[in-house]
């Protein structure tokens, strides 16, 4: 009896994520691609020829690729010192800084663009005008994604035993040698995971490119949007989407190969005992400069937005906030404040879906070896690298049977979960893999049932990953704009949608309210991340 339970449990570990992805990702995407590429019942491949023989479109493909590679490299370089300091030191305000660093990740592009133009545009206080250059695009990509690397890599780093490096040092290695030969190899799985995620994000970048890059620069994502929405040229849009998917698949395959060769079993330590207070001047300097660096990279652009939301030109600093509630200038029928409520319940639901599906998938990936499990792992990442336009319009074409979900509010959390699941998996797998199989074997020898082993050994460990994943999933949903804006939705605006609507109308009050809502979104995100980080600390003690 117990055996059939555990078999069923194991089967559902595979079936839940597989079913979810089939219904809400593969089926919609295939539907829209076939709508574009099947004419009168027979496949029509001429759009591919159109794409591959058009110099502008090939230019788009090339630009998409190289800007993603450069953005990923720059993000990794920018994030490593921060990840190091967060992993190795304890200091006042660390959690706040870490939360602030994560806030950009969820800010809507329209709003971030305003801040970037204020800092690096024609009226820059530093006298640097990068407007409509590749540099402002790269800077924005780093700004957005630094948190992904800090959290993924820092998460693992903070549990690595510092004595390993100390041992290398005592054997005569320099600081750099010790890092390169001891720590770096151990960090590689997390580094590769972070790089893969950042690459997928920048490869499919839409808003940043469109707004900051002007029109000289276009990614595949921007071109798919133009072909679908402006020209209604579904065949070419489908061909471009397939080129995009192919590019993403190649990267994921490379990542998969790399990851396979780098699997190491780690002995992890509680983060508490790894991190120490900076004691020497040198250490204080390192911590201080990283804090200052975060101030410039993350807090300054955000601070400008906050400051402007209070800058009403003399009618009292809270005008924009007050008018959010009294309905003056409220967009459409929904008060901007209602958008906060919508955002919260949608993010809550999206988090639950992403955790259920993502943790099941992570368990499969972490505990099963073999080709199937590895392909499954990569398959899970695919939605991140798929055009939001393709997914949004695909859902519209496909999801009308057996229940018509096309214009159903449930589609919003489902779409958000689709974006969040890869994060849940990436954050959880390394932690789950780190459980030594001997622990489980000894428990089995001592007579524990598989269910009990799972409950008493795997679950407490998974719970740690759960906390981080939940925070990220929630934050992703709070800030998600792309997919949300491409699905037909009943009038339940989330915060980013409400901000976008306010920005769509002239008048200082509308602009100010948009900034006020952005500030609320920032505060909300920071609060969620702080809360989750606090919860997580409780769990580490069990380790």
Partner 1 sequence: MPARTPLGKARTRLAALAGALALFVSACSTSGPDTLTLLAHSSFAISQSTLDAFTEETGVTVEIIDGGDAGAMLAQAILTKDNPIADVIFGVDNTFLSRGVAEEITIPYVAPALGDLHPFTRLDPTNRFTPIDYGDVCLQYVNDGSLDPSTLFQDPDGSRLVVIDPSTDSPGLAFLLATIAAFPETWQEYWADLRDEGVLVVPGWEEAYYGEFAGASDGDRTVVVSYGSSPAAEVVFAAEPIDEPATGIVEESCFRQVEFAGILAGTDSREAAERFVDFMLTPRFQEDIPLNMFVFPALIGAELPRVFTDHATVADQPLTVEPAVIAENRDRWIDEWTAIVLR
Instruction: Report the alpha-carbon distance of residue 525 to residue 500 in Å, rounded.
Output: 18
Instruction: Report the alpha-carbon distance of residue 146 to residue 78 in Å, rounded.
Output: 7
- 28, 398 Cβ separation under 8 angstroms: yes
In this complex, which beta carbon is closest to partner 1, that of residue 22 or of residue 267?
Answer: 22
In this complex, which beta carbon is closest to partner 1, that of residue 194 or of residue 397?
Answer: 397
Q: How far is the CB of 147 from partner 1 (least distance, A)?
A: 25
In this complex, which beta carbon is closest to partner 1, that of residue 332 or of residue 445?
Answer: 332
Instruction: Report the alpha-carbon distance of residue 528 to residue 348 in Å, rounded.
Output: 11
Q: How far is the CB of 288 from partner 1 (least distance, A)?
A: 32
Q: Which two tokens stand for residue 167?
A: 């041992």
Q: How far is the CB of 525 from partner 1 (least distance, A)?
A: 22
In this complex, which beta carbon is closest to partner 1, that of residue 319 or of residue 428?
Answer: 319
Interface residues toward partner 1, by CB under 8 A = 1-2, 4-5, 8, 35, 56, 110, 113-114, 117-118, 121-123, 210-211, 214-216, 226, 228-232, 312-315, 319-320, 329, 331-333, 393, 396-397, 400, 403-410, 485-486, 488-491, 493, 497, 500-501, 503-512
Q: How far is the CB of 136 from partner 1 (least distance, A)?
A: 12
Q: How far is the CB of 407 from partner 1 (least distance, A)?
A: 4
Q: How far is the CB of 403 from partner 1 (least distance, A)?
A: 6
Instruction: Report the alpha-carbon distance of residue 517 to residue 167 in Å, rounded.
Output: 51
417-219-36-381 Cα dihedral, nearest 10 degrees: -30
The total of other beta-carbon atoms located within 10 Å of residue 249's CB is: 15
Q: Is 428 exposed, middle or buried (0-12, 13-18, 19+ CB in 10 A)?
A: buried
In this complex, which beta carbon is closest to partner 1, that of residue 69 or of residue 344?
Answer: 344
Among candidate residues 464, 392, 402, 394, the one with its CA nearest the CA of residue 434: 464
Q: How far is the CB of 413 from partner 1 (least distance, A)?
A: 11
SS (H, E, C) 58-73: HHHHHHHHHHHHHHHH
DSSP class of 370: S
Cis preceding linkage at 402, omega within 30: yes
Bridge-partner residues for 216, per DSSP?
Answer: none
Instruction: Report the alpha-carbon distance of residue 291 to residue 85 in Å, rounded.
Output: 9
Residue-level length of the chain? 543
Distances from the Cα of 140 to the Cαs of 225, 285, 470, in angstroms? Answer: 21, 27, 25
The three-point CA angle 364-369-375 to 5° equals 70
Bridge-partner residues for 89, per DSSP?
Answer: 276
The CA R_g of the chain, rounded to the nearest whole Å, is 24
Q: Is 406 exposed, middle or buried (0-12, 13-18, 19+ CB in 10 A)?
A: middle
In this complex, which beta carbon is closest to partner 1, that of residue 263 or of residue 400?
Answer: 400
In this complex, which beta carbon is closest to partner 1, that of residue 147 or of residue 397?
Answer: 397
Q: Is 126 exposed, middle or buried (0-12, 13-18, 19+ CB in 10 A)?
A: exposed
Q: How far is the CB of 406 from partner 1 (least distance, A)?
A: 5
In this complex, which beta carbon is closest to partner 1, that of residue 123 or of residue 177?
Answer: 123
Instruction: Report the alpha-carbon distance of residue 28 to residue 34 in Å, rounded.
Output: 10
Q: How far is the CB of 482 from partner 1 (least distance, A)?
A: 11
Q: How far is the CB of 520 from partner 1 (least distance, A)?
A: 18
- 132, 212 Cβ separation under 8 angstroms: yes
In this complex, which beta carbon is closest to partner 1, that of residue 422 or of residue 479?
Answer: 479
In this complex, which beta carbon is closest to partner 1, that of residue 214 or of residue 341?
Answer: 214
φ, ψ at 270 (rounded to 5°): -60, 140
Q: How far is the CB of 173 from partner 1 (least distance, A)?
A: 51
Q: How far is the CB of 128 from partner 1 (least distance, A)?
A: 15
In this complex, which beta carbon is closest to partner 1, that of residue 480 or of residue 533?
Answer: 480
In this complex, which beta carbon is closest to partner 1, that of residue 35 or of residue 283?
Answer: 35
């Amino acid at each position: 009896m117990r055996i059939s339970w555990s078999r069923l449990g194991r089967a559902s570990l595979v079936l839940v994520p597989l079913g979810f992805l089939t219904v809400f990702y593969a089926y919609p995407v295939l539907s829209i691609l076939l709508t574009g590429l099947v004419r009168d019942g027979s496949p029509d491949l001429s759009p591919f020829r159109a794409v591959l023989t058009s110099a502008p479109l090939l230019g788009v493909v090339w630009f998409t690729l190289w800007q993603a590679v450069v953005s990923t490299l720059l993000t990794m370089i920018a994030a490593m010192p921060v990840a190091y300091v967060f992993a190795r030191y304890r200091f006042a305000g660390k959690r706040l800084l870490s939360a602030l660093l994560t806030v950009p990740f969820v800010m809507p592009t329209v709003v971030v663009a305003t801040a970037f133009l204020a800092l690096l545009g024609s009226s820059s206080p530093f006298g640097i005008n990068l407007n409509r250059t590749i540099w402002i695009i790269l800077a924005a990509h780093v700004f957005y994604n630094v948190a992904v690397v800090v959290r993924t890599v820092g998460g693992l780093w903070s549990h690595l035993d510092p004595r390993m490096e100390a041992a290398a040092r005592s054997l005569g290695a320099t600081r750099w040698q010790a890092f390169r030969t001891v720590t770096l190899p151990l960090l590689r799985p997390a580094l590769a995971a972070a790089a893969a995620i950042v690459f997928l994000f920048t490869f499919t970048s839409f808003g940043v490119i469109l707004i900051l890059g002007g029109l000289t620069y276009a990614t595949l994502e921007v071109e798919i949007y133009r072909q679908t929405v402006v020209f209604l040229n579904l065949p070419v849009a489908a061909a471009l989407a397939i080129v995009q998917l192919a590019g993403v698949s190649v990267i994921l395959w490379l990542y998969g190969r790399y990851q396979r060769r780098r699997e190491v079993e780690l002995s992890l330590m509680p983060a508490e005992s790894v991190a120490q207070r900076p004691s020497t001047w040198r250490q204080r300097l390192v911590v201080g400069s990283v804090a200052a660096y975060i101030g410039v990279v993350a807090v300054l652009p955000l601070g400008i937005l906050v400051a402007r939301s209070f800058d009403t030109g003399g009618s009292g600093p809270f005008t924009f906030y007050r008018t959010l509630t009294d309905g003056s200038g409220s967009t459409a029928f929904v008060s901007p404040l209602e958008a906060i409520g919508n955002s919260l319940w949608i993010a809550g639901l999206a988090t639950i879906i992403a955790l259920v599906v993502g943790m099941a998938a992570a368990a499969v990936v972490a505990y099963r070896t073999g080709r199937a499990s590895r392909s499954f792992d990569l398959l899970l990442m695919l939605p991140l690298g798929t055009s939001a336009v393709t997914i949004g319009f695909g859902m519209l074409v496909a999801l009308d049977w057996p229940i018509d979900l096309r214009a159903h509010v449930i589609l919003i959390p489902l779409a958000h979960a689709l974006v969040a699941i890869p994060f849940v998996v990436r954050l959880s797998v390394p932690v789950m893999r780190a459980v030594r199989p001997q622990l489980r074997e000894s428990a089995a020898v001592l007579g524990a049932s598989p269910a009990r082993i799972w409950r008493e050994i795997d679950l407490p460990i998974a719970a740690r990953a759960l906390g981080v994943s939940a925070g990220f999933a929630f934050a992703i949903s709070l800030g998600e704009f792309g997919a949300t804006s491409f699905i037909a939705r009943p009038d339940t605006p989330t915060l980013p949608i409400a901000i976008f609507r306010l920005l769509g109308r002239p008048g200082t009050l509308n602009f100010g309210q948009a900034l006020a809502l952005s500030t609320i979104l920032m505060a909300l995100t920071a609060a969620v991340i702080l809360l989750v980080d606090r919860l997580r600390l409780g769990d580490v003690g069990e380790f």
